[in-house]
């Protein structure tokens, strides 16, 4: 009850004109950061860190937090309209979202994403207010073995991302896994697969790769398909229909749960909950009319909700333990520290006015983002009416500038373009792209979990079966693997039978 | 407002700086340097860590004071990647005109030129060490209810049951890693080291009870201790800390180990002496500014200025320590620097 009163007080502070202004500025910048490919939330926040020297603590932190979750709203826009994922967390949205845009349903895709984001973000913040401490204690039980098992579970989902051919999906998954090995070994610090190039020592930039594979690859395919009008300038309705609502609501609920749960665990990358949510939708809902990969709204609503629930939940360990669970949260922690506030449970006692104002501002910011994003959808979808020649040139410029800005070096745009060509070939030969992104993201996390578990147990693999959470997760992944491969096996033999009959 | 434009601006600055510097050097090759240095042109500081982290915050806190003493604007560029290897390689290639200064931390950076696996294209002699900024001692913490009261309790149990105790730490060949190896070497114990890629996940693993102890710097362990989540076993400084006056140093506990993360700045080796002296004085005055010291103190970063000579001596000393530990624990085959 006490925290409720503190929250109300915080809400009062958060609603002061100054704080609303900074939440608004943060939301606008966050949306922009999300829209601009390559400028991820971490980079966007980092660039504004110096402002925290000039501003008082509370508005500064409110603004930076708003950038962080605002970017998750904005990231949807380019994914849906242009098939260019602005950051890792919006890769999944490309799969169904861009298909929706191609069928003139960009409006409903963007609206449902904004509404889902709002719900996910708000529910995760409510968790922060009410259940922060017990939830964190639970999340801390995820040590290296549990983390490894969780990543195994994530990898087992790759089969569900397969298109027509399981073999092709597994091939590209392995390809992604191999790519993720480039760079410094996490346990002994040895550079791997760098070919003596200093630029490769830090590994390949995930964003550059997915921008190339999805964005540029799609662009090349579209260019080729001159005759067919791939990106038709039809806009259609802007807001979801009654049926869209009915289909999206369960997806939003599931996305909220998945995003909040995974956000609590330090070290889970922001893209993980989106993939989990997407695959979960594929399992939980009957095949939609459009078919999976054909623009199913559940595939937008779930992941987009999950990533906003994730970012708001990721703040929980920061407030309860002072542990930043992602690079962007680490930046936020920096903003606290610059102002002489050390995040952690003491902050609630020593500076309750700061903590509760910031938490209340999360609610305010989510409302601002919703108000900001819904009316803009009409404007955004008009991007699709830009003549193709200009639009494609713009996309290419965005991708090049975005990938350059990752590290201020030419190496990343080159990688991005190389993967653009590869993305084109993948599409030509009907290889699915999503498994590459999934293994690229999960690979390093899984490797770290494995290496750390082995250090803990001195190389004894029984550590994975003697710890209950790890064991359950591993069994679950086996179950997923077995059931889905059986399903695809029967589907394949069915196809062969039909082929031979025909 | 967005990053790409800001970054571009920074880049333009960098390009601009080097172009200006190049043309200046072309036009007036033998002019007394310090008289027109920095001549109002911005000085770039390359930061080896990502923006917003502990290192970055330290440099950014120093920035306004440094701008005053240098009499010019600073451009801070973050060049994270490979624990600083990317930035240090860049530093070994920039024009030695004093317009580019790099951040550094010991002993992590000693491994950069010592470790052959990183294929360094530079040696220690390619740099000059400008100033020490922060001196953050290494520490070991355990859970408050843990049976060990001193570090010796801990190492004795590790000795009795080799490989039974695990300690989490962030980073390979980091100050914490070398600190722990030092302890293991000097006490003849076998402790399981679990590497994380940063302090934060290591702290999370420790708090979750997945390891028995945690090796982090005092700035990171003090908040844990203050809120009752951890107890300090030892601090590896030469004297007791003002933040934790009740914790004995390792020397007091009978182990001659002094280990810290020391942050500072370097320049390329061939910076003209007058310019180097100018920079050294400006850094000294900025770092010793009481207002700056107080601000850093509030964040838990103990400021300890080291002049070029002391800092260089420390670098050489740490090189010897890293070389010895690397050989003893077969981490890598250290490259000779002399």
Give the model confidence (pLDDT) of A410-447 as tens digits.
899 999 999 999 999 998 998 988 889 888 888 888 99
Check A143 against B1: CB less than 8 A apart: no
- Tell me, yes or no, if B53 comes closer than 8 A to chain A by beta carbon: yes
Give the model confidence (pLDDT) of A45-70 as tens digits.
777 777 777 788 889 889 988 988 88
**For residue B204, which residues of chain A lie inside 8 Å, CB to CB?**
140, 266-267, 317, 321, 323, 325
Considering only CB atoms, B52 lies closest to which of A317, A325, A331, namely A331
Check B208 against A45: CB less than 8 A apart: no
**For residue A49, which residues of chain B lie inside 8 Å, CB to CB?**
51-52, 56, 60
Which range is least confidently modeled, A282-286, B167-171, B279-283? A282-286
Give the model confidence (pLDDT) of B126-145 as tens digits.
999 999 999 999 999 999 99
Check A198 against B227: CB less than 8 A apart: no
Residue B3 has pLDDT above 70, yes or no: no
- Tell me, yes or no, if B1 comes closer than 8 A to chain A by beta carbon: yes
**For residue A458, which residues of chain B lie inside 8 Å, CB to CB?**
163, 192
Q: What is the sign, positive or negative, of the torsion defined by CA atoms of B194, B197, B202, B204?
A: negative
Give the model confidence (pLDDT) of B176-188 as tens digits.
999 999 999 999 9
> What integer pLDDT is reported at residue A328 of this predicted model?
81
State how far the Cα of B251 lies from the Cα of B253, in Å rounded to an integer.
5
State how far the Cα of B199 lies from the Cα of B98, in Å rounded to an integer.
33
Q: Name the band, by pLDDT with cuts 50, 70 and 90, for residue B191.
A: very high
Check B60 against A327: CB less than 8 A apart: no
Best interface-test mutation with A: which of B84, B210, B292, B333 has the largest number of A CBs within 10 A?
B210
Q: Nearest-CA distance from A48 to chain B in Å?
A: 9
Q: Which chain B residue has the Cα nearest residue A328?
A: B52
Average pLDDT over residues B311-321: 95
Across the A:B interface, residue pairs with CB atoms under 8 Å apart total: 168
**For residue B223, which residues of chain A lie inside 8 Å, CB to CB?**
322, 342, 344, 346
> What integer pLDDT is reported at residue B24 of this predicted model?
41
Its pTM stands at: 0.83
Best interface-test mutation with A: which of B52, B120, B143 has the largest number of A CBs within 10 A?
B52
Average pLDDT over residues A152-171: 81
State how far the Cα of B143 lies from the Cα of B231, in Å rounded to an integer.
6
- Structural contact between residues A106 and A381, judged by C-beta atoms closer than 8 angstroms: yes
Residues in contact with A116: Cβ distance below 8 Å, sequence separation at least 6, in sequence order: A248, A251, A252, A255, A300, A301, A302, A304, A305, A308
Check A334 against B195: CB less than 8 A apart: no
Helices assigned H by DSSP within chain B: 3-27, 54-70, 85-93, 110-114, 151-160, 175-187, 199-207, 218-226, 273-287, 290-298, 308-328
Residue A230 has pLDDT above 50, yes or no: no
Residue A292 has pLDDT above 50, yes or no: yes
Query: A464 or A138: which carries more pLDDT confidence?
Result: A464
- Tell me, yes or no, if B254 comes closer than 8 A to chain A by beta carbon: no
Q: Beta strand A191-192 with B192-196: parallel, antiparallel or unpaired?
A: unpaired
> What integer pLDDT is reported at residue A483 of this predicted model?
80
Best interface-test mutation with B: which of A27, A317, A337, A444 has the largest number of B CBs within 10 A?
A337
Residue B113 has pLDDT above 80, yes or no: yes
Q: What are the tokens at A364?
A: 């305010």
Percentage of chain A with pLDDT > 70? 94
- Residues 302-331 of chain B with CB under 8 A from chain A are 331
Give buried/exposed letters for B157-184 (b at 16+ CB in 10 A, else e).
bbeeeeeebbbbbbbbbbbbbbbbbbbb
Percentage of chain B with pLDDT > 70? 88
Mean pLDDT over each residue of chain B, to the nearest integer: 85
Query: Phi and psi for B303 in degrees, rounded to 5?
Result: -80, 135
For B187-214, the DSSP string reads HT---EEEEESSHHHHHHHHHTTSSSEE
> What integer pLDDT is reported at residue A489 of this predicted model?
66
Give the model confidence (pLDDT) of A244-256 as tens digits.
999 999 999 999 9
Residue A40 burial (C-beta neighbours within 10 Å; 0-12, 13-18, 19+): buried
Give the model confidence (pLDDT) of A117-131 as tens digits.
999 999 999 888 888
> What integer pLDDT is reported at residue A7 of this predicted model?
86
How many of the other CB atoms lie within 10 Å of CB of B185? 14
> What integer pLDDT is reported at residue A497 of this predicted model?
65
What residues form DSSP beta bridges with A386? none
Average pLDDT over residues A292-296: 86
Give the model confidence (pLDDT) of B214-223 as tens digits.
999 998 898 8
Q: How far is CA A358 from the centre of its chain?
A: 23
- Residues 230-249 of chain B with CB under 8 A from chain A are none
Residues in contact with A249: Cβ distance below 8 Å, sequence separation at least 6, in sequence order: none
> What integer pLDDT is reported at residue A113 of this predicted model?
92
> What integer pLDDT is reported at residue B9 of this predicted model?
42
Average pLDDT over residues A369-385: 85
Average pLDDT over residues B152-157: 93
Percentage of chain A with pLDDT > 90? 26
Residue B7 has pLDDT above 50, yes or no: no
Residue A391 has pLDDT above 80, yes or no: yes
Give the model confidence (pLDDT) of A329-366 as tens digits.
887 887 887 777 878 777 877 888 888 899 899 999 99
> What integer pLDDT is reported at residue B312 of this predicted model?
96
> What integer pLDDT is reported at residue A235 of this predicted model?
64
State how far the Cα of A31 lies from the Cα of A75, in Å rounded to an integer.
7
> What integer pLDDT is reported at residue B233 of this predicted model?
93
Give the model confidence (pLDDT) of B18-35 as tens digits.
444 444 444 333 444 456
Residue whose tokens read 């179950």? A479
> What integer pLDDT is reported at residue B322 of this predicted model?
93
């Amino acid at each position: 009850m006490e925290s409720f009163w503190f929250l109300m007080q915080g809400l009062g502070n958060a609603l002061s004109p100054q704080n609303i202004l900074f939440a608004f500025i943060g939301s606008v910048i966050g949306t922009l950061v999300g829209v601009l490919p390559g400028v991820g939330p971490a980079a966007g926040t980092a660039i504004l860190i110096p402002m925290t020297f000039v501003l008082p603590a509370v508005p500064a932190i409110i603004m930076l937090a708003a950038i962080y979750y605002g970017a998750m709203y904005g990231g949807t826009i380019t994914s849906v309209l242009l098939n260019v994922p602005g950051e890792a967390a919006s890769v999944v949205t490309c799969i169904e979202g861009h298909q929706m845009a191609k069928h003139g349903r960009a409006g409903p895709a963007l609206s449902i994403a904004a509404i889902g984001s709002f719900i996910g973000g708000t529910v995760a913040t409510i968790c922060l207010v009410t259940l922060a401490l017990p939830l964190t204690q639970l999340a801390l039980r995820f040590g290296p073995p549990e983390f490894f098992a969780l990543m195994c579970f994530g990898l087992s989902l790759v089969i569900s991302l397969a298109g027509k051919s399981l073999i092709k999906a597994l091939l590209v998954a392995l390809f992604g896994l191999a790519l993720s090995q480039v760079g410094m070994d996490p346990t002994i610090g040895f550079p791997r697969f760098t070919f003596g190039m200093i630029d490769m020592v830090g590994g390949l930039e995930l964003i550059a790769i997915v921008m190339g594979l999805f964005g540029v690859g799609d662009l090349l395919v579209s260019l080729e398909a001159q005759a067919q009008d791939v990106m038709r300038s039809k806009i259609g309705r802007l807001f979801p229909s009654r049926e869209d609502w009915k289909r999206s609501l369960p997806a939003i609920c599931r996305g909220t749960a998945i995003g909040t749960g995974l956000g609590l665990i330090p070290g889970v990358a922001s893209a993980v909950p989106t993939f989990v949510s997407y695959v979960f939708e594929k399992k939980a809902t009957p095949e939609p009319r459009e078919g999976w990969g054909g623009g199913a709204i559940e595939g937008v609503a779930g992941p987009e909700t999950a990533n906003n629930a994730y970012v708001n939940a990721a703040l929980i360990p920061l407030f309860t333990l002072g542990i930043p669970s992602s690079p962007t949260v680490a930046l936020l922690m920096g903003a606290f520290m610059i102002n002489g506030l050390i995040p952690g449970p003491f902050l609630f006692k020593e500076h309750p006015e700061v903590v509760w104002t910031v938490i209340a501002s999360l609610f305010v910011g989510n409302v601002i983002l919703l108000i900001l994003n819904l009316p803009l959808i009409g404007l955004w979808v008009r991007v699709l009416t830009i003549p193709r020649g200009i639009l494609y040139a713009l996309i290419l410029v965005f991708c090049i500038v975005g990938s350059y800005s990752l590290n201020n070096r030419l190496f990343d745009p080159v990688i991005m373009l190389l993967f653009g060509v590869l993305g084109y070939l993948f599409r030509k030969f009907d290889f699915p792209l999503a498994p590459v992104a999934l293994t690229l993201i999960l690979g390093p996390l899984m490797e770290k979990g494995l290496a750390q578990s082995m250090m803990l147990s001195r190389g004894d693999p029984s550590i994975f079966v003697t710890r209950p959470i790890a064991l359950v997760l591993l069994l679950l992944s086996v179950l997923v693997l077995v059931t889905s491969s059986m399903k695809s096996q029967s589907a394949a033999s069915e196809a062969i039978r039909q082929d031979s009959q025909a | 407002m967005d990053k790409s434009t800001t970054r571009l601006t920074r880049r333009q600055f960098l390009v601009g700086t080097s172009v200006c510097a190049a043309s200046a050097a072309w036009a007036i090759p033998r002019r007394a340097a310090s008289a027109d240095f920095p001549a109002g042109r911005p000085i770039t500081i390359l930061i080896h860590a990502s923006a917003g982290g502990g290192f970055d915050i330290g440099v950014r806190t120093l920035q306004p004071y440094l701008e005053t003493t240098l009499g010019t604007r600073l451009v801070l560029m973050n060049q994270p990647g490979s624990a600083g290897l990317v930035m240090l390689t860049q530093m070994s290639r920039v024009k030695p005109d004093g317009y580019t200064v790099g951040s550094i931390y010991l002993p992590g950076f000693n491994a950069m030129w010592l470790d052959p696996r990183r294929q360094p294209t530079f040696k220690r002699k390619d740099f000059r060490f400008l100033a020490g900024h922060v001196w953050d001692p290494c520490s070991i913490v355990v859970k408050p209810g843990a049976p060990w009261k001193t570090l010796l309790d801990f190492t004795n149990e590790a000795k009795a049951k080799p490989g039974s105790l695990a300690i989490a730490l962030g980073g390979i060949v980091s100050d914490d890693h070398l600190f722990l190896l030092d302890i293991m070497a000097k006490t003849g114990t076998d402790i399981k080291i679990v590497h994380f890629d940063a302090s934060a996940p290591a702290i999370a693993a420790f708090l979750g009870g997945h390891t028995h102890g945690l090796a982090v710097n005092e700035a990171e362990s003090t908040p844990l201790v203050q809120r009752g989540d951890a107890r300090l076993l030892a601090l590896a400084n030469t004297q007791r800390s003002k933040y934790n006056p009740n914790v004995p140093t390792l020397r007091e506990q009978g182990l001659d180990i002094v280990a810290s993360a020391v942050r500072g700045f370097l320049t390329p080796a061939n910076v003209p002496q007058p310019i180097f002296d100018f920079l050294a004085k400006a850094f000294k005055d900025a770092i010793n500014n009481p207002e700056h010291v107080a601000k850093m103190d509030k964040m838990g970063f103990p400021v300890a200025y080291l002049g070029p000579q002391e800092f260089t001596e420390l670098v050489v000393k740490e090189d010897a320590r890293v070389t010895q530990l690397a050989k003893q624990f077969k981490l890598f085959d250290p490259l000779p620097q002399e």
